Structure 1
């Protein structure tokens, strides 16, 4: 897929272990969350702990799903966990702002790829009717295609991995009324 959107895409590249912040910003198509904002959310989630359970011990990021969900709430959004037993055809894509996947990913130190795999947050969203993979480890956004390519190919392929999790990013009212899911 090489089609370019009519407007430029916002795409943050991977830095430290900030993939959760990058995924949020790439979904929002603007810089809304940096390390300071994410660390503040961690402190609010666990205010009385010496070692915060929602991020890396080293303070380099690696934020968990609780931080990601708290960040979305500050933007009037929420995340709905997708049950992989459901058919992707049940998604009401017009009601979904974007997707955040947690997928296994290789660990790299500069140009060196280590024989380790860790979980990594990745954003997917539509711009001008085309879905894009906005993975912060990519040099640039990668076009996926329309709804059929998103569901039949991209999401299906990733969801076959046992350690892949999918979150739907939706408005709070969409989550409340369940309109992200079709009745069929």
Structure 2
């Protein structure tokens, strides 16, 4: 594993913050103060805010992640897990954020049976291989090349796992945005919807 891979470890319920910084491979690309601010930009309500924990420990929802990546000229696309991940055009995708069900525990040691929370994980290609940058891991975990990564996604998106995948793509220049949206460049060409021919 490259020593140059940036990896934030889990603190409180800040997995969304860690996933964003791990995705962009930069310390303090986003801060807790920024994400809290995004919560109130999305819903200007003093308390409780629906986009984070009422205790202020984090637990941000997908709306905050989407708003955050927009600040860096990217967009978030929900992936329909009924599709086979092999339809993805990885060359056009910046990275991924996976949302998984996670057991709730007290002080990280006492697990509460039947109580589950959601956890955000960044997945990204770095120096030719894809990595799981989960903040709960001691270090990044190498998944492997494109084929191994697509097989990994297939396993993660099995119905019994109740996981959700979000694709992060960079936006093109303003004049190209409409064309890019129509083409769905994050899909391989053979999986894109057929465009109606102009008369």
TM-score, normalized by length of structure 1? 0.91
Task: Name which structure has the greater RCO, CA cutoff 8 Å, separation 6+.
Answer: 1
| 1:158 corresponding residue in structure 2 | 156
**Cα offset, 1:50, TM superposition:** 3.0
- Structure 2, gaps ≥5 residues long: 191-199
| 1:11 corresponding residue in structure 2 | 7
Question: What secondary structure, in the 3-state scheme, does the structure 1 residue paired with 2:131 have?
Answer: strand
- Asked whether the 8 Å contact 1:98–1:125 carries over to 2, the reply is yes
| 1:62 corresponding residue in structure 2 | 59
- Give the superposed CA RMSD: 1.6
Question: What secondary structure, in the 3-state scheme, does the structure 2 residue paired with 1:117 have?
Answer: strand
Question: What is the rounded CA distance, in whole Å, between the counterparts of 2:169 and 2:185 in structure 1?
Answer: 10
CA 1:117–1:50: 2 relative to 1, 3 Å: closer
**Cα offset, 1:84, TM superposition:** 1.0
2:186 counterpart of 1:180: yes
- Asked whether the 8 Å contact 1:13–1:136 carries over to 2, the reply is yes
Question: What is the rounded CA distance, in whole Å, between the counterparts of 1:182 and 1:56 in structure 2?
Answer: 38
Question: What is the rounded CA distance, in whole Å, between the counterparts of 2:91 and 2:97 in structure 1?
Answer: 16
Structure 1 moving runs of 4+ over 6 Å: none
Question: What is the rounded CA distance, in whole Å, between the counterparts of 1:113 and 1:147 in structure 2?
Answer: 37
Which one has the largest radius of gyration? 2
- Structure 1, gaps ≥5 residues long: none
Count of matched residue positions in the alignment of Structure 1 and Structure 2:
179
- Asked whether the 8 Å contact 2:97–2:165 carries over to 1, the reply is yes
